[in-house]
């Protein structure tokens, strides 16, 4: 199987450097027309310039590819919609959105000002939703689309000083789950990447061989797979240094409590059984959990009669 993007149009946000730049270059190398979106701000989201996006476009064109630069701030829906309108006017379709743009404003929660919390949410989570919403009608109309969001281990597992970032990144998973359900009948798949790479966002965290091994280029093959016609759906793909893994959300089978056991003490007494992973499942929708609880409750009630 050869994965190609000939004739397809791909938007990559935050593509002026780091992971986004690597994604954009690899999509272009496999035939895609690429929209290189980058606000061009500093790591904390201040400033702004199209110079970084222009430089990546120049790289793509020098290699024989086709690309356009865009400096929209993803946290501003009107700017994102204008970007989508510009792309449609030029190329007439949008096949792939890779929502990669992000900023950092790290502080412990006790020291974090709420504007810094809100700004990180605005860029990561609201920015991703803005981009997805702007391309959604296009993808529905053409009965095809691939969305790739960017989550983080900080969101899934936690990291000191990143309450804002972690909350935003966990939100990507919820957004993916709902949009996959809503988009499936229109040929739209939604997946999420959790990358570990040395970029300007993370460079001070790494030293020694890791700086040479955890490159953005080792991540992008996973993104291209998720965004391909052959790609999966509703997948959390983790990547770093050429290593790829999957994260699943599982729910244990659970325990029915009744009578005197339906109490805080009963929950405590059965907590090991409640936590037992034997028979745990990756549920595919909120009502799957609802039906499970209803069925267990009904079965327990019938057994008493």
d(CA 213, CA 207): 11
Q: Is 17 in contact with 203 (CB distance < 8 Å)? A: no
Sheet containing strand 145-150, edge to edge, reads 66-70, 33-37, 9-13, 96-98, 145-150, 188-195, 236-240, 243-247
* Assigned token pair, 153: 């281990």
- Angle subtended at Cα 249 by Cα 245 and Cα 255, rounded to the nearest 5 degrees: 140
What number of CA atoms fall less than 13 Å from residue 29's CA on the CB side? 13
State the residue for tokens 């280029």.
217
H helices present in the chain, as ranges? 18-29, 51-62, 77-91, 114-121, 127-142, 153-156, 163-183, 210-213, 220-226, 264-269, 271-275, 286-304
**Which residues, other chains included, contact 111 with Cβ-Cβ below 8 Å and sequence gap of 6+?**
none
Annotated catalytic residue within 144, 157, 165, 291: 165
165 is catalytic: yes
Q: What are phi and psi of 76, to 5 degrees?
A: -110, 105
d(CA 148, CA 132): 10
Query: Looking at the annotation, which residues are catalytic?
Result: 165
């Amino acid at each position: 199987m050869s994965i190609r993007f000939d004739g397809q149009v791909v938007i990559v946000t935050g593509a002026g450097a780091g992971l986004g730049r690597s994604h954009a270059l690899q999509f272009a190398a496999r035939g895609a027309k690429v929209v290189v979106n980058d606000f061009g701000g500093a790591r904390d989201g201040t400033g702004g310039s199209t110079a970084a996006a222009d430089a990546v476009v120049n790289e793509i064109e020098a290699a024989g590819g086709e690309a356009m630069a865009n400096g929209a701030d993803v946290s501003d829906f009107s700017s994102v919609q204008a970007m989508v309108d510009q792309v449609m006017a030029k190329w007439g379709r949008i096949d792939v959105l890779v929502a990669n743009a992000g900023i950092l404003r790290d502080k412990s929660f006790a020291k974090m000002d709420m504007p810094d919390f809100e700004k990180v949410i605005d860029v990561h989570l609201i920015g991703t939703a803005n981009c997805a919403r702007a391309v959604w009608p296009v993808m529905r109309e053409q009965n095809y689309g691939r969305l790739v969001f960017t989550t983080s281990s900080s969101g899934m597992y936690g990291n000191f000083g990143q309450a804002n970032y972690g909350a935003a990144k966990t939100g990507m998973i919820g957004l993916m789950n709902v949009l996959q359900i809503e988009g499936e009948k229109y040929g739209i798949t939604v997946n999420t990447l959790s990358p570990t790479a040395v970029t300007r966002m993370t460079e001070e965290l790494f030293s020694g061989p890791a700086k040479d091994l955890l490159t953005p280029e080792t991540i992008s093959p996973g993104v291209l797979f998720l965004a391909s016609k052959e790609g999966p759906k509703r997948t959390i793909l983790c990547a770093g240094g050429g290593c790829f893994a999957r994260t699943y959300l599982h729910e244990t089978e659970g325990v029915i409590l009744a009578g005197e056991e339906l109490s805080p003490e009963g929950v405590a007494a059965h907590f090991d059984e409640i936590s037992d992973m034997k028979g745990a499942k990756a549920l595919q929708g909120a009502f799957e959990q609802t039906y499970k609880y209803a069925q267990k409750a009904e079965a327990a009630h019938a057994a008493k009669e």
